[in-house]
Amino acid sequence: MERHVLSVLVRNSSGVLTRVSGLFARRGFNIDSLTVGRTENTEISRMTIALMGNEDALEQFKKQLNKLEDVLRVHELKSEYSVYRELVLIKVQASAEKRGAINEVVKIFRSKIIDVAHNTVTIELTGDDSKINALIELMEDYGIVEIVRTGITALERGDKNITDYGEYFN
């Protein structure tokens, strides 16, 4: 099984997220990550859905998604033609003696410390999956208190955009 990332344009209406996620549940798909936000058009939102599956199951799922009333467009974003990013916040134990070393790692990853408390620091990093996982692995040595990840958000590289692929479905 391989990871697939779908970009889905939907009407910005009540219950659309429930209908899309319900479709996954009814079909036995597990969503690895799901991000949703408004687009340049306030009446339309973009969902970025990451999931694992084979090509046949993915095609079936895309067809089912296209049948939903509020779904306007479904497009798979292939990694070689797209930019994937994720945001992570990591709260790490940080005594006064360890803060200098943690700060050096933060600089190497071009991330930043966004909060400092007596015993912890909170780090913000935006990047691809491998960069985020590498920072998490290094921070484990200091003692991770909490982690939150946004999930993948993605756009196709270059001049193309999701509206270049024909008419909207609805």
Same domain, 88 and 113: yes
Measured distance CA(169)–CA(42) in Å, rounded: 19
Q: Tell me the per-residue pLDDT of 26-47, one tens digit each, with 9 for 90 and over.
A: 877 788 999 999 999 999 999 9
Q: Tell me the per-residue pLDDT of 111-170, one tens digit each, with 9 for 90 and over.
A: 999 999 999 999 999 999 999 999 999 999 999 999 999 999 999 999 888 877 655 544
Total tally of structural domains belonging to the chain: 2
Q: Which residue, 93, 89, 130, is CA-closest to 111?
A: 89
pLDDT for 107: 97
- Whether residue 165 lies inside any domain: the answer is no
Same domain, 46 and 71: yes
Cβ-proximal residues to 16 (8 Å cutoff; 6+ apart), any chain: 10, 45, 68, 70
Q: Structural domain of residue 70, as residue ranges?
A: 2-76
pTM of the shown model: 0.84
Give 28: exposed, middle or buried? Use CB within 10 Å, 0-12, 13-18, 19+.
Answer: exposed
Q: Which residue, 124, 43, 118, is CA-closest to 88?
A: 124
Same domain, 108 and 126: yes
Same domain, 70 and 89: no
Residue 56 has φ and ψ, to the nearest 5°, of: -65, -45
Same domain, 55 and 15: yes
- We report the CATH number of the domain holding residue 36 as 3.30.70.260
Angle at 134 between CA 132 and CA 105, to 5 degrees: 95
Q: By percentage, how much of the chain surpasses pLDDT 90? A: 75
Same domain, 48 and 6: yes
